[in-house]
Amino acid sequence: MMFPDHSRPFNTTYKCYSVSMLPGNERQDVENGGKIIMPPSALDQLTRLNVVYPMLFKITNGSINRSTHAGVLEFVADEGKIYMPYWMMHNLALEQGDIVEIESVSIPVATYSKFQPQSVEFLDITNPKAVLENCLRNFACLTTGDLIAINYNNTTYELSVLETKPGPAVTIIECDMNVEFAPPIGYTEPERREKEEEPMTIDPTELMPEPTGFVAFKGEGTRLDGKKKKDNGTNDVLPVQRQAYVRGIPDYDHPYGLLRFDRSVRKLDQIEPKSDDTKFQEFQGEGCSLKKNRK
């Protein structure tokens, strides 16, 4: 008779150190993510226990009963030690060499998460969702209440995980997750002021062209006796009579998105010649005598 091979939990303790204490070259990829480095013996033990993949762990600081979740990046640490990002040690209030408990867990796949930036400088990012999506590729889990750190454009931004669904701890490996942002700490909503309608500073009639051609009574008067006119302080210059301003009426039936350019050229023979009667002719009036003729 075959018995089902149930996986047993992995539970052990290690001394924790930050990634900066890892021997060898600097591992900036570990510092900018949410995964830890464990010793090779842990991989051997996990393989014997048939732990479900992906390997996810609950990290607990038993002295203050605070925990978070993380994935594993490599199994190259010294025996009895694990290395984790500094922001993760800060969340668990750990110092270099403190003892932590590591337990293998299975958590649901994330469907929703909400973050709150810890500074208003986060608003300077043009597309924050795209930046966050790219940075979360180095993470395996999210835990409600954690304060994660992402690096973008040589600047480190801290984000508080306010909410995760469907549970307080979720995995974000190969998932379709909706992301929302809360207003950053210290952000104040700008006051909205209604714009007051300002009166037109320019009279439309002033934009009309001045009349061309003959303008009646535009000249200056002269005395017959040659004397100068008396200056009574009034301005004798009559205002220029401009054309009446008529506001255009839009074509409300014009189809949307259609532009019309009238490039038709009328031939000279199609242009109606203007009659000469409309032109001004000088001295065409009839004369009158002030004295009556004697019969």
Domain ranges of the chain: 11-104, 112-181
Kindly state the percentage of the chain with pLDDT values over 90.
Answer: 39
SS3 43: helix
What pLDDT sits at residue 265? Answer: 60
Domain 112-181: assigned CATH number: 3.10.330.10
DSSP single-letter state for residue 34: S
Pick from 69, 7, 14, 67: which is nearest to 38 by CA?
A: 14
Are 51 and 117 spatial neighbours (Cβ–Cβ below 8 Å)?
A: no
pLDDT at 2 over 50: no
**pTM of full prediction above 0.85:** no
Q: State how far the Cα of 231 lies from the Cα of 235, in Å rounded to an integer.
A: 9
Look at 4 and 112; give whichever has higher pLDDT: 112
Q: State how far the Cα of 156 lies from the Cα of 137, in Å rounded to an integer.
A: 16
Look at 197 and 165; give whichever has higher pLDDT: 165
Amino acid at 98: D
What pLDDT sits at residue 260? Answer: 74
Q: Work out the mean pLDDT of the chain and round it to a whole number.
A: 81
11-104: CATH topology is: Barwin-like endoglucanases (2.40.40)
The token pair that represents 180 in the structure block:
């929302």
At 159, phi and psi to the nearest 5?
Answer: -130, 135
Q: State how far the Cα of 172 lies from the Cα of 113, in Å rounded to an integer.
A: 10
pLDDT class of 206 with cuts at 50, 70, 90: low
What pLDDT sits at residue 190? Answer: 80
Paired strand residues for 160? 116, 147
What pLDDT sits at residue 273? Answer: 60
Check for a shared fold between 11-104 and 112-181.
Answer: no
Q: What is the pLDDT of residues 230-244, one digit of tens each?
A: 666 555 555 656 666
What pLDDT sits at residue 92? Answer: 92
Are 69 and 107 spatial neighbours (Cβ–Cβ below 8 Å)?
A: yes
pLDDT at 52 over 90: no
Q: State how far the Cα of 116 lies from the Cα of 158, in Å rounded to an integer.
A: 9
Mean pLDDT (whole number) for 185-191: 84
